[in-house]
Amino acid sequence: MVDSISEASCVIDVGGVGYLVFCSTRTLATLPPAGGATLLIETQVREDAISLYGFSAAAERDWFRLLTTVQGVGAKVALGILSALSPDELIAAIARQDKGALTRAPGVGPKLAVRLATELRDKAAAMPGGGGGAVLAGIALPRGHVGDALSALTNLGYRRAEAEAALARVVDERGADADLDILIRGGLKALAK
């Protein structure tokens, strides 16, 4: 049962014992002000403390685990990233190598953004998103010509995340209803850069 909610944490009452659980603002927003709630808990044991981190969704917990494997990303920074970007937005930002989006998170400077984008580039495509699939410029994939262009680029040997990022740029410029050959050519140009 949720006992209280503060800016970066909540107190969960379990059988009369209150547990301080650190959460992203995204998770805190889903909690009722008082009453029953279900959180997925990640426990970190250190020599000087035992800390609990709570997540409303498995995708967010999985991203927390992955983010904390990157040098310079502790639990606090990982929660800041998850507060600033949803799992779907993280996947898209890493696929596009969008360091600007990553630096929106508190505690993430330009150097750490580069490290996140570089180290997680190959892992991001396999990570779960919050919306039940990859999202490209607001369009669920695969759909129509965009899905066909994505298939063509991946069949040419490009990684899915790279191909999605390239197609996102083309869709931004030409629109999702562009002809298949325009999408493929534009995607290849973006990938060549």
Q: Over 60: is that where the pLDDT of 131 sits?
A: no
Q: Over 60: is that where the pLDDT of 178 sits?
A: yes
Q: Do you find a cis peptide bond into 32, omega within 30 degrees of 0?
A: no
Q: Under CATH, what is the fold of the domain 2-55?
A: OB fold (Dihydrolipoamide Acetyltransferase, E2P) (2.40.50)
Class of domain 135-192: mainly alpha
Judge whether 58-124 and 135-192 match in fold.
no
CA 55/CA 22 separation, integer angstroms: 9
Tens digits of per-residue pLDDT, 9-19? Answer: 999 988 899 99
CA 113/CA 71 separation, integer angstroms: 11
Q: What is the pLDDT of residue 83?
A: 92
Residue spans of the domains in the chain: they are 2-55, 58-124, 135-192
Listed residue (6, 4, 130) closest to 56, CA to CA: 130
Listed residue (122, 127, 117, 124) closest to 59, CA to CA: 127
Whether the full predicted model's pTM is greater than 0.75, yes or no, is no
CA 58/CA 56 separation, integer angstroms: 7
User: Whats the size of the chain, residue-wise?
Assistant: 193
Residue 140 — very low, low, confident or very high, per pLDDT cuts 50/70/90?
A: very low
In CATH, 58-124 is 1.10.150.20: yes
